[in-house]
Structure 1
Amino acid sequence: MGLVFGVLLGWVARTGDVSWLVTTLDKIGSIFVQLLKLAVAPLVFFAILVSITNLRKVNNAARLATRTLLWFMITSLIAVAIGLAIGLLTNPGAGTGLTPKDGGKPESAGTWLDFLTGIVPTDVITPFTELNVLQIVFMAVVAGVAALQLGDKAQPILGLSQSVLELLQKALWWVIRLAPLGTLGLIGHAIATYGWDLIGKYATFTADVYIGCALVMFGVYPLLLATVAKVNPLQFFRGAWPAIQLAFVSRSSVGTMPVTQRVTERLGVPREYASFAVPFGATTKMDGCAAIYPALAAIFIAEIFGVNLGVGDYVLIAFVSVIGSAATAGLTGATVMLTLTLSTLGLPLEGVGLLLAIDPVLDMMRTATNVAGQVVCPLLVSGREDILDREAYNAASASPIDAVEARDAEKQATVPAAA
């Protein structure tokens, strides 16, 4: 309903030139995103720290972690291959009427040197104030491994970290309940600002991104779930839908992370393992933003600037997509990943300016694909390792998360009484 009313209000604001309505929609959407981002830095830190320490409760923790990263890479390779294939078949940059003069260099760009040296922070405060998710993940990993080495001595810190994480997740649930209003504002402002005229120039490219993401989400993922995890793919969409639709609206994998973890658990993935796989996936697993999109964008920009890409360039795109996806950081937008891809290929960074205007429209589908992949990979690993609760998976439904939370709280309350 928020999506429908947002489109209608955005259309009214644009056709009627109602400036106050445009401003109102902008404020509603931006406040919702700001509230999501407010919890991102501490949420990522404590989620990663707690997830690493929780691995000690899981049998074959190292094996599970390795398998998780392996499936992250496999699905990313499949996604980037689909993106490249669609781009080569459709030539998204041809016939757009755009020229290199229409582009402009982004304010900041990603390079391999920045990526490698930027992992280690210069202090412990700046990553949180500047929201550098990659550096926050690095510090959380170091703190988690150190806590494992300390053993019982670290228990007070781990107890505090768990409490802080639960507090942050509870506060974020309140923000997530505002998603219908956030949807109305974000979609409405996008329609009022961009309308349908802008999409006309990028029609092929926009269709390519949506088709590529749809092929991965509704084709590759169900096929892997059916053949690897041996589960019914339809049940996956029933259980994971709340996270997928919130990701589509919020355009933030990290902001959606509490919902993603909740649906992953209710689909039968053990909580101790899900608490590791989902936070890492939310910051590094980006099939939409870091695989399909950079592949199509590189082809699009190369065609606009008249640069011929060879087989070696396509291999480089695949390499960057698998290794550099952490640069996307799970936040709205994928500019850093795109500039990293362009700089690796030697393509003009001015090409980024060609895509900035259309980015919000594309980012919705990209982020939904990201989050779907972040749920699929733990399911694949759990199914292969025979730790998946198949009864829970088959019982999962698309009921609202609030209803699930209430049922779980009721169950937890009755367990001590029964005992």
Structure 2
Amino acid sequence: MSSTSAPATTSSTRRRLRFPSFGAQIVIALVLGVALGFVARQMGPVDADAPNWLTDVLATIGSSFVGLLRAIVPPLVFLAIVASIANLRQVKNAARLAGQTLLWFAITALISVAIGITLGLVLQPGSRTSISADAAADPGRSGSWIDFLVGLLPTNFLGIEGSANADSGSVGFSFNVLQIVVIAIVVGLAALKVGKQAEPFLTFAGSALSVIQKVLWWIIRLAPLGTVGLIGRAVATYGWNLIPSLGMFTIAVYAGLALVLFVLYPVILRANGLSIRQFFRGAWPAIQLAFVSRSSIGTLPLTQRVTERNLGVPRSYASFAVPLGATTKMDGCAAIYPAIAAIFVAQFYGISLSITDYVLIAFVSVVGSAATAGLTGAVVMLTLTLSTLGLPLEGVGLLIAIDGILDMGRTAVNVAGQALVPTVVAKREGILDVERYESASAEDLFSDDDDEREVARDAADTAAELESSGTRS
């Protein structure tokens, strides 16, 4: 009798000790981060060279978490695209999928920039500001069409870019995700062309991808801790006191972001027969992380995860569409913000914009968004827009003080769009797992069973394709 009651008691105890859901953990982390940020701010003025200890701790926690995510991006993107190329080839409408993805990128960007231009003209943020012209300053770095086009060409196999500091003697490295996408596509296509001889390579790529994804899920489990650090540092360090002088500009930007996120995207979802509630329920973990991390690339692993696992987009398609979106699909940073900011600068300096100028703003937003390359901030995209219009680049200095506050909302909208477009395209092409879309929740992110089944299915598809290629050759 006692032997049967003991397991039941143990099981009941385990249920009572279970942690809150992943979504609840993120919400708790946001509240705790805001509270700690206000405490850090009350501890004294924040000096960029010597911040108080709490601000320093929060900054270290947040930057370490984003650093872990960014470190996993290069192998994840490369291996995922290489492993999925073979599977994409089996899809008869693979070229159509790629075309539809780019088309919807352009459609949503065009509507978003139209919203930004309209708000800029209606709210007149540049004429309704108390900021001094003394705040104008050279942005230090700017975007150009030549740099963007040259940046598409890989400088080395890994897409790594180095920089050196002569004063400190330090050497830093960063990566260009768009270059990694280009390299992975070329390698994947070459593997298919080789045929049966490439089977060991593709098998290795699939196995390595499984290992990288396991490491990724461990990192994602740290998201609540990273959220505390990121949002706490934001509250402690950003120039909230400067918002009043740029109040109308801030309102205009966030109004535009809200219209895109909560009006435009829901309309697109409903028009394609998709549940609005389920989309936000599935994509919300990535949107939350984007808001606090301010990095589309840092959020990329989680964006790809929710797109596949929660929204039901096939891995073979999501592995291509999401990384591409993380570098070229930025309705917040590359559409809403530069449109309103360009109008602000023009109004501030008393420069009249013509119809041609507004068309140029739309063109830069639709075609030039890849120039931002998923990096934190939108200075590159804004300077590209201003230089194209012939507006003073010093105008960037007027807005840079509150850029961190605006960047949180911009990045959240970027990531939402990067998950939306593959979902809509998959639904229109009949490859969306509708049952998963309608039922998945944030907790499904950590289910290993589906991973094993999907990896096995991808491996079987790749083997079949290689065998077929070997027979034809």
The two structures share one fold, judged by TM-score above 0.5 = yes
Classify 1:304/1:52 alpha carbon distance in 2 versus 1 (closer, same or farther; 3 Å).
Answer: farther
2:190 aligned with 1:146, yes or no?
yes
Give the Cα–Cα distance (whole angstroms) in 2 for the partners of residues 124 and 264 of structure 1: 28
Aligned to 1:161: 205
Classify 1:414/1:325 alpha carbon distance in 2 versus 1 (closer, same or farther; 3 Å).
Answer: closer
Deviations 1:202-251 (A, max 9, x none): 22222222221111111111111111x21221111122212211221222
For 1:36-47, list aligned pairs within 5 A: 36-47=69-80
Q: Of the candidates 247, 255, 273, which is equivalent to residue 230 of structure 1?
A: 273
Give the Cα–Cα distance (whole angstroms) in 2 for the partners of residues 324 and 6 of structure 1: 35
Aligned to 1:392: 436
2:282 aligned with 1:255, yes or no?
no
2:135 aligned with 1:88, yes or no?
no
Aligned to 2:381: 337
Aligned to 2:450: 408
Give the counterpart letter for 1:88 in structure 2. Answer: L
Aligned to 1:119: 152
Give the Cα–Cα distance (whole angstroms) in 1 for the partners of residues 202 and 333 of structure 2: 33
Classify 1:59/1:8 alpha carbon distance in 2 versus 1 (closer, same or farther; 3 Å).
Answer: same
Give the Cα–Cα distance (whole angstroms) in 1 for the partners of residues 258 and 191 of structure 2: 41
2:83 alignment partner, SS class = helix
Aligned to 1:133: 177
Give the counterpart letter for 2:315 in structure 1. Answer: R
Aligned to 1:23: 56
- Which has the greater radius of gyration? 2
Q: Of the candidates 170, 184, 190, which is equivalent to residue 228 of structure 2?
A: 184
Give the counterpart letter for 2:218 in structure 1. Answer: W
Following TM superposition, by how much is the alpha carbon of 1:82 offset from its aligned partner in structure 2, in angstroms? 0.8
Q: Is the 8 A contact 1:291 1:321 kept in 2?
A: yes
Give the Cα–Cα distance (whole angstroms) in 2 for the partners of residues 269 and 133 of structure 1: 21
Give the Cα–Cα distance (whole angstroms) in 1 for the partners of residues 285 and 158 of structure 2: 34
Give the counterpart letter for 1:260 in structure 2. Answer: T
Following TM superposition, by how much is the alpha carbon of 1:273 offset from its aligned partner in structure 2, in angstroms? 1.8
Over 4 Å off, 4+ runs: 409-415
1:130 alignment partner, SS class = strand
Q: Of the candidates 335, 338, 360, which is equivalent to residue 291 of structure 1?
A: 335
Q: Of the candidates 199, 202, 219, which is equivalent to residue 246 of structure 2?
A: 202
1:357 alignment partner, SS class = helix
Aligned to 2:101: 68
Classify 1:354/1:145 alpha carbon distance in 2 versus 1 (closer, same or farther; 3 Å).
Answer: farther
Gaps of at least 5 residues in structure 1 are none
Q: Of the candidates 303, 311, 321, which is equivalent to residue 277 of structure 1?
A: 321
Which moves more between the two structures, 268-277 or 283-292?
Answer: 268-277
Deviations 1:336-360 (A, max 9, x none): 1112111111112222222222122
Classify 1:25/1:113 alpha carbon distance in 2 versus 1 (closer, same or farther; 3 Å).
Answer: same
Q: Is the 8 A contact 2:148 2:370 kept in 1?
A: no
Q: Is the 8 A contact 1:44 1:254 kept in 2?
A: no
Give the Cα–Cα distance (whole angstroms) in 2 for the partners of residues 410 and 148 of structure 1: 24
Give the Cα–Cα distance (whole angstroms) in 1 for the partners of residues 153 and 286 of structure 2: 31
Give the counterpart letter for 2:301 in structure 1. Answer: P
Q: Is the 8 A contact 1:134 1:327 kept in 2?
A: no
2:214 aligned with 1:170, yes or no?
yes
Classify 1:43/1:104 alpha carbon distance in 2 versus 1 (closer, same or farther; 3 Å).
Answer: farther
Q: Of the candidates 330, 346, 350, which is equivalent to residue 390 of structure 2?
A: 346
Aligned residue pairs, count: 412
Classify 1:368/1:95 alpha carbon distance in 2 versus 1 (closer, same or farther; 3 Å).
Answer: same
Give the counterpart letter for 2:421 in structure 1. Answer: C
Which moves more between the two structures, 180-189 or 97-106?
Answer: 97-106
Q: Is the 8 A contact 1:29 1:184 kept in 2?
A: yes
Aligned to 2:370: 326
Classify 1:47/1:314 alpha carbon distance in 2 versus 1 (closer, same or farther; 3 Å).
Answer: farther
For 1:46-61, list aligned pairs within 5 A: 46-61=79-94
Classify 1:338/1:155 alpha carbon distance in 2 versus 1 (closer, same or farther; 3 Å).
Answer: farther
Following TM superposition, by how much is the alpha carbon of 1:370 offset from its aligned partner in structure 2, in angstroms? 1.3
Which moves more between the two structures, 242-251 or 9-18?
Answer: 9-18
2:49 aligned with 1:8, yes or no?
no
2:297 alignment partner, SS class = coil
1:350 alignment partner, SS class = helix
Percent of aligned pairs with the same residue?
61
Give the Cα–Cα distance (whole angstroms) in 2 for the partners of residues 4 and 121 of structure 1: 42
Q: Is the 8 A contact 2:60 2:229 kept in 1?
A: yes
Give the Cα–Cα distance (whole angstroms) in 2 for the partners of residues 199 and 367 of structure 1: 19
Q: Is the 8 A contact 1:98 1:304 kept in 2?
A: no
Q: Of the candidates 76, 97, 102, which is equivalent to residue 135 of structure 2?
A: 102
Give the counterpart letter for 2:243 in structure 1. Answer: I
Following TM superposition, by how much is the alpha carbon of 1:116 offset from its aligned partner in structure 2, in angstroms? 1.3
Q: Is the 8 A contact 1:247 1:364 kept in 2?
A: yes
Give the Cα–Cα distance (whole angstroms) in 1 for the partners of residues 425 and 338 of structure 2: 27
1:286 alignment partner, SS class = coil
Following TM superposition, by how much is the alpha carbon of 1:412 offset from its aligned partner in structure 2, in angstroms? 7.5
Give the Cα–Cα distance (whole angstroms) in 2 for the partners of residues 276 and 344 of structure 1: 30
Give the Cα–Cα distance (whole angstroms) in 2 for the partners of residues 7 and 311 of structure 1: 43
Classify 1:139/1:409 alpha carbon distance in 2 versus 1 (closer, same or farther; 3 Å).
Answer: closer
Give the counterpart letter for 1:28 in structure 2. Answer: I
Which moves more between the two structures, 338-347 or 53-62?
Answer: 53-62
Give the Cα–Cα distance (whole angstroms) in 1 for the partners of residues 78 and 132 of structure 2: 43
